[in-house]
């Protein structure tokens, strides 16, 4: 059983920490799980290197932190429906999810977090950016915070910028849900259920407008927020290696996989953990 000998090293000022001293393939004691969960809450995204995980081990590790749920758009692996393959192949030009976003905010209960495990990595590129949405909210003016504290955002699964990033995977392994427009209404600012902190909760991939406002009225405010929430000082960047694993808090962080490795393969496995209704 894996025991606690953690070393935690921040990788940027805003968020992100690399954790060493743990083998995620081994069963984890409750104390270790608690330490890792606290690290996630503190840093919003935590990274591990040099892990060797079968799908069964990956699933067991993820279940220590929550309930794995099926991704609505893509079928899971044979025998492991909670694990999807996130891939870009040599001939493809668009990468899966290649836009700033929080995962599946078009669901009534978006996931609390996601885990991404690297199998094949291009010789260069394919990094992932993350952004701290606590900081994004706190850096807004008092007037903008007052407006957003009472606002609701409408999220859609069919917004063009993100739906086109799923097209290659939907062709080969799409679900029936991939053909539908899934929508949900959530607070534009959500209160994190574990930390009690407020985080900006709109994203360019899924948020289409504010409730009780038209698309045209919403557009200039959202355009400002979409640029504001990914300011460089709110972000970190992770360089993948085979065997790397990232675990991010979807309730207070956004992410964006960089599409700069045309002609090469990038193959990952991802598990999504069930969340709650944002408040």
pLDDT by residue (tens digit) across 129-144? Answer: 999 999 999 999 999 9
Question: What pTM value is reported for the model?
Answer: 0.93
Q: Which residues are catalytic?
A: 101, 103, 255, 270
Q: Would you state the pLDDT for residue 159?
A: 85
Query: Does the structural domain 7-273 have CATH classification 3.60.130.10?
Result: yes
Helix (H, G, I), strand (E, B) or coil at 153: strand
* pLDDT score recorded for residue 134: 99
Q: Examine the pLDDT at 164 and tell me if it is beyond 80.
A: no
Q: Say whether pLDDT at 170 is over 70.
A: no
C-alpha separations of 268 from 83, 139, 143, 185, 192 in Å: 10, 34, 42, 30, 28
pLDDT digits (tens, 9 = 90+) for 9-32: 999 999 999 999 999 999 999 999
Please return the burial class of 90, using the count of CB atoms within 10 Å of its CB with bins 0-12, 13-18 and 19+. Answer: exposed
- What confidence category does residue 169 fall into, taking pLDDT thresholds of 50, 70 and 90? very low
Assess whether pLDDT exceeds 80 at residue 174.
no
Distance of CA 211 to the CA centre of its chain: 24
pLDDT band at 163 (very low <50, low <70, confident <90, very high): low
Residue 264, Cβ density class (10 Å: 0-12 exposed, 13-18 middle, ≥19 buried): middle
What is the number of other CB atoms lying within 10 angstroms of the CB of residue 110? 24
Question: Which of 200, 273, 247 has the alpha carbon at shortest distance from 47?
Answer: 247
Q: What is the pLDDT of residue 179?
A: 59
Q: How confident is the model at residue 158 (pLDDT cuts 50, 70, 90)?
A: confident
**Backbone angle region of 120, left / alpha / beta, with phi > 0 → left and psi within -120 to 50 → alpha:** beta
Q: State the SS3 of 251-279.
A: CCEEEEECCCCCCCCEEEEEEEECCCCCC
Residues 86-90, mean pLDDT to the nearest whole number: 95
Tens of pLDDT, residue by residue over 228-257, are 999 999 999 999 999 999 999 999 999 999
Using the predicted structure, report yes or no on whether residue 212 has a pLDDT greater than 50. yes
| Burial track 199-234 (b if 16+ CB lie within 10 A, e otherwise) | bbbbbbbbbbbbeeeeeeebeebbeebbeebbeeeb
Provide the strand spans (E) within 81-227: 83-88, 113-120, 128-132, 152-156, 183-187, 189-191, 198-200, 207-210
Residue 160, φ and ψ in degrees, nearest 5: -60, -40
């Amino acid at each position: 059983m894996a025991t606690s000998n953690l070393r935690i090293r921040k990788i940027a000022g805003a968020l992100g920490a690399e954790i060493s001293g743990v083998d995620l393939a081994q069963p984890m004691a409750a104390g270790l799980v608690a330490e890792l969960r606290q690290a996630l809450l503190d840093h919003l995204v935590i990274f591990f290197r040099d892990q060797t995980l079968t799908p069964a081990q990956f699933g067991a590790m993820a279940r220590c932190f929550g309930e794995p749920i099926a991704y609505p758009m893509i079928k899971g692996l044979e025998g492991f429906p909670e694990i999807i393959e996130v891939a870009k192949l040599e001939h493809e030009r668009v990468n899966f999810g290649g836009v700033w976003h929080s995962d599946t905010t078009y669901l009534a209960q978006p996931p609390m977090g996601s885990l991404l495990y690297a199998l094949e990595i291009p010789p260069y590129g394919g990094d992932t950016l993350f952004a701290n949405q606590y900081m994004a909210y706190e850096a807004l003016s008092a007037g903008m915070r007052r407006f957003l504290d009472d606002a609701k955002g409408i999220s859609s699964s069919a917004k063009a910028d993100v739906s086109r990033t799923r097209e290659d995977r939907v062709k080969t392994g799409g679900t029936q849900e991939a053909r539908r427009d899934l929508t949900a209404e959530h607070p534009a600012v959500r209160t994190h259920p574990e930390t009690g902190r407020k985080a900006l909760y709109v994203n360019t991939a899924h948020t289409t407008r504010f409730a009780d406002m038209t698309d045209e009225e919403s557009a200039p405010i959202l355009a400002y927020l979409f640029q504001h929430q990914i300011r460089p000082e709110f972000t970190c960047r992770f360089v993948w290696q085979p065997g790397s694993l990232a675990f991010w808090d979807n309730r207070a962080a956004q992410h964006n996989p960089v599409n700069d490795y045309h002609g090469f393969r990038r193959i990952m496995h991802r598990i999504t953990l069930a969340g709650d209704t944002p408040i």
